[in-house]
Amino acid sequence: MATARYSVHTLEIFPRSLFITRTTQILAQCFPQKNLVFFSPLQMGGSYAVAVPACATVIRVRSFFHFVPDKTNRADERTHPGWIQGHSHRYPWCGFIHLLPSYLISPKALQGAFIEHHSMLQKLSLQVEISVNLVRSVQDLLTCDALIIPGGGMPFTSCRPLPIFSSRLSESTTIALLAKLSGLLDPLREFLRTKPVWGSCAGAVLMSRNVTNAKKGGQDLLGGFSVTTARNGWGSQVGDRFGFTALSLFTINRSFRSNPLRPRSLYGFSPNRTDRFKECLFALQYRPHLFYLDT
């Protein structure tokens, strides 16, 4: 049986990114087919010269947030087993740098009986071929049909210093600057007009129509969402109690952890039941933005 071919790419504009991400695991949970094949960049050395059966579901992941194991992180993993190591707000070493990993989903083979297979696949729950790549250039972007623009997560001051960017830059401004330097701003805007994009955290700010509390002189935005976001809408998260609280809203807040709706109970969730999101929202929100909807 032939399958629809999609490629899931990952946008990564940041220079010198160190990677580790749970993208692989997440996608594995998204697409629990038997013939799921993973290529780890660590195993593959970044190349993908592997013969794969035509019916296989291929997920190529090249976006890894950097993870530096140490005692602290292991302790954190012990106390919070539902969380990957290294993302505790208490140990913001992880410069995982915000990098904009984004998954781009592009149908690569649209000829033939693609439509029929596609409609069949819709009924069969995602028999699609997935590959995940980093996108660093306009050329990479042009090959993709969907995009995720993640944010960074940690305040930029917490990340390992980068040579050319001021630590006072926030994630969204940094992303915008890097996109600008890469000549991606306008291609990204064009992409937004026509193709699905998921903006998360700073990526969501970047996709907003307006931003309050923006840096002096404003910042480049991609648009796409008819909302105004407030950067640091709940106040600075660096060193003040409120920021701490906001930071822990969905993560290590003890009262939340004692909530019966723990993450492990959320598996098997049906995406169509979006109302469940309200009940069981569970995610990191490092830099809580508040949103003022225009409409």
Q: Binding to other proteins (CB under 8 A): which residues in 16-75?
A: 21-23, 25-27, 29-30
- Which of 48/198 has CB closer to other proteins? 198
CB of 51 to other proteins, least distance (A): 25
Q: How far is CA 278 from CA 26, 243, 264, 281, in A?
A: 21, 22, 16, 6
Out of 40, 166, 215, 277, point to the residue binding other proteins (CB under 8 A).
Answer: 277
Q: Extract the tokens encoding 39.
A: 């290529």
Least distance from other proteins to the Cβ atom of residue 156, Å? 15
Residues 127 to 186 in contact with other proteins, rule: CB under 8 A? 128, 145-146, 148, 150-151, 153
In this chain, which stretch among 41-49, 70-78, 195-203, 213-221 interacts with other proteins, using CB under 8 A? 195-203
| Shortest reach from residue 77's CB to other proteins, in Å | 12
Q: How far is the CB of 109 from other proteins (least distance, A)?
A: 12
282 binds other proteins (CB under 8 A): yes
Nearer to other proteins, 15 or 233 (CB): 233
Of 75 and 281, the one with the shorter C-beta distance to other proteins is 281
- Distance between CA 195 and CA 187 in Å, rounded? 12
Considering the complex, state which of residue 15 and residue 263 has its C-beta at the smaller distance from other proteins: 263
Minimum distance between the CB of residue 164 and other proteins, rounded to whole angstroms? 25
In sequence order, the 6+-apart residues with CB closer than 8 A to the CB of 63 are 10, 12, 19, 21, 23, 99, 101, 102, 103, 132, 134
* Among 61, 97, 184, 197, interactor with other proteins by CB under 8 A: 197
The residue among 121, 99, 119 whose CA lies nearest residue 20 is 99
When binding is defined by CB under 8 A, the residue of 38, 48, 91, 114 that contacts other proteins is 114
Contact with other proteins (CB under 8 A): which of 15, 77, 234, 238? 234
Q: How far apart are the first and last CA of the chain?
A: 46
Q: Is 118 in the site for other proteins (CB under 8 A)?
A: yes
CA dist list (Å): 25 to 84, 107, 180: 11, 22, 31
CB of 163 to other proteins, least distance (A): 26
| Nearest distance from C-beta of residue 282 to other proteins, angstroms | 5
Q: Is 45 exposed, middle or buried (0-12, 13-18, 19+ CB in 10 A)?
A: exposed
Residue choice 14, 64, 93, 286 for contact with other proteins (CB under 8 A): 286
Q: How many residues bind other proteins (CB under 8 A)?
A: 80
Contact with other proteins (CB under 8 A): which of 48, 91, 165, 250? 250
- CA atoms 79, 251, 82, 13: torsion sign: negative
Supply the DSSP string of 136-196, one letter for each residue: -SHHHHHT-S-EEE----S-GGGSPP-SSS-TT--HHHHHHHHHHHTT-HHHHHHHHHHS-
Tokens coding 104: 């781009």
At its nearest, how many Å lie between other proteins and the CB of residue 166? 23
107 HSE (CA, 13 A, CB side)? 13
Check: CB of residue 154 under 8 Å from CB of residue 286: yes
User: Under the criterion CB under 8 A, does residue 15 sit at the interface with other proteins?
Assistant: no
